[in-house]
């Protein structure tokens, strides 16, 4: 959950999000080094008198041609690694289906015989103490922690987007098409997200709440709903 005036990312709750945060910090350090070097050279050129050595220097031209290529490689390699990790899908322990509607979500637990429900935002007038406005739902998506989860995302009417920032997940929900992604929660907790695709007048009123629980709690919850 983001805090007021928060400057950075939310605390990562999945291995993919941890990798994304590390890559973000890595890219910022590279950008900081480049900006520092450019500012130093600009200040040096403004304060120092130009000489013939700086007008025609093939060694310097060679360096500022090769150096950017090395920097791009240092950025491209970890970026490609994370992209492949996000697309990698091993044998999941649980498969879910999220269907976007105007303006609520439907969740189906495909590994269970009859376990599905709609998830609506709780109106402001019905919020309990400690609940978050525009983020709480009447039925949370409950998943077991430390288990590979596959979620299949689609839509029933218009474009939607199933996004939970702390899990590093954002998948478009397109009518007539199935998109899939996977994630693993590394700790128990309640993680909030929202539809990230403008889908109509009440676009900001279809939040996503994922509740990560130990496996025993998840089994008790699923057996209660299935019975």
pLDDT tens, residue by residue, 2-31: 777 778 888 899 999 999 999 999 999 999
**C-alpha to C-alpha distance for 50 and 71, rounded to whole angstroms:** 28
Query: pTM for the full model?
Result: 0.84
Q: How far is residue 130's CA from residue 132's CA, in Å, rounded to a whole number?
A: 7
* Helix (H/G/I), strand (E/B), else coil: 199: coil
Most confident of 97-101, 131-135, 197-201: 97-101
Band (pLDDT 50/70/90 cuts) for residue 55 is: low
Chain segment 64-112, per-residue pLDDT in tens:
889 889 999 989 999 999 988 888 877 889 999 999 999 999 999 998 8
Give CA separation, 216 vs 211, 212, 223, 227, in Å: 14, 12, 11, 17
Burial class (CB in 10 A: 0-12, 13-18, 19+), 71: middle
State the pLDDT confidence band at 54, using cuts at 50, 70 and 90.
low
DSSP-derived 3-state class of residue 89: coil
Q: What is the mean pLDDT of the chain?
A: 89
CA distance 178 to 105: 15
Considering just the CA atoms, what is the radius of gyration of the chain in Å? 24
Distance CA 120, CA 116 (A): 13
Q: Which residues pair with 108 in a beta bridge?
A: 97, 116
Going from the N-terminus, what domains does the chain have, and what CATH number goes with each? 15-87 (1.10.287.90), 94-225 (2.60.40.420)
- Burial classification of residue 105, based on how many CB atoms lie within 10 Å of its CB (0-12 exposed, 13-18 middle, 19 or more buried): buried
**Token pair of 123 as six digits:** 């109106």
């Amino acid at each position: 959950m983001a805090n007021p005036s928060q400057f950075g990312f939310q605390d990562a709750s999945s291995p993919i999000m941890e990798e994304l945060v590390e890559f973000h910090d890595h890219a910022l350090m590279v950008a900081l080094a480049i900006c520092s070097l450019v500012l130093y050279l600009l200040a040096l050129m403004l304060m120092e008198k130009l000489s013939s050595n700086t007008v025609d220097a093939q060694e310097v031209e060679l360096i500022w041609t090769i150096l950017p290529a090395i920097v791009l490689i240092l950025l491209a390699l970890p970026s490609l690694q994370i992209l492949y990790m996000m697309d990698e899908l091993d044998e999941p322990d649980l498969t879910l289906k999220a269907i976007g509607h105007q303006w609520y979500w439907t969740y189906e637990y495909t590994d269970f015989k009859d376990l599905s429900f709609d998830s609506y935002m709780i109106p402001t007038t019905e919020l309990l103490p400690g609940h978050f406005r525009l983020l709480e739902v009447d039925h949370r998506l409950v998943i077991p922690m430390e288990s590979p989860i596959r979620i299949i995302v689609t839509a029933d009417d218009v474009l939607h987007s199933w996004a939970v920032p702390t899990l590093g997940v954002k998948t478009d929900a397109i009518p007539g098409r199935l998109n899939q992604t996977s994630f693993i929660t590394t700790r128990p907790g309640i993680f909030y997200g929202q539809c990230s695709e403008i889908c109509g007048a009440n676009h900001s009123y279809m939040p996503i709440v994922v509740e990560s629980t130990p496996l025993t709690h998840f089994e008790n919850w699923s057996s209660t709903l299935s019975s």
